[in-house]
Each structure stands twice: as C-alpha cells, then as structure tokens.
Amino acid sequence: QVSLVESGGGLVHSGGSLRLSCVVSGFTLDYSTITWFRQAAGKEREGILCVDRINSVTVYADSVRGRFTASEDKGVSTAYLQMSDLESADTGVYYCATNWNNRCTDAPQERGFYTWGQGTQVTVPP
C-alpha cells in the first residue's frame, strides 16, 4: 500500500529553521520525485519545490528560493524539506506528494496527478 507520511512541523519563530520529513512506503524514491506543497489558511495549495532521485531540486515558488531546499535519502525512504530564515508568510500546512514521474516537471501539476501525504502544520508567528 502506497503512503507518504509527513512529520517535523511545529511552531518556530521568525528567522528560525525547521526540517520536515516525508517517509514513503509502497514505492521507491529511486524512480519517483517528491514535490512539496503548502497551503495557508484560506488560500490555494501552492507547489514550492520538487526533488528528484539525484537530489536535483526544482524551485517552483520564488518566495522560498534561497531559503528552502529539499533532499532524499533513499536508504531510509525519506524525503526532507529544509527550511531556513522562516517568516510568518511561511505558515501553513505542508504536504509531500508524488506524481510518479522520475523527473521534476517545470511547474507543479494539477492536484489530481499526485498522491498525497496527510500534511504537517508549520506556524511562524508574526
């Protein structure tokens, strides 16, 4: 059975750092990319970046460029989202997802193309 399980969310003050994890099962990261999304309250879900099997990262959201990065550790079937210099605008529920491609697309695809985790809340107070 395919699953993606995020963890590592929490409350962090502005300027702080946080690392989210996404443990996958039922498939291998050798052949599937992981895309990270976030959704702030009352807003659309936003694709922020994608990481592929050689840890090449495609950034989708300019707002996180230079502050967020992603990686995969295939040995433990886990993808990571490393976030630094956090700000209140980064508050939201963060999701990992796979669209079953082995390469990151140039832009996020429609939600229906992805299999999703349940999300983890990140809160950065103003």
pLDDT band (50, 70, 90) for residue 60: very high
Q: Which residues contact residue 82 at a Cβ distance below 8 angstroms, ignoring those fewer than 6 apart?
A: 17, 19, 68, 69, 70, 71
Its sign, for the CA torsion 107, 108, 109, 115, is positive
Torsion angles phi and psi, residue 26, rounded to 5:
85, -5
pLDDT in tens, 6-49: 999 999 999 999 999 999 999 999 999 999 999 999 999 999 99
Q: Identify the DSSP state of 41.
A: T
Residues 6+ apart with CB under 8 A from 31: 53, 102
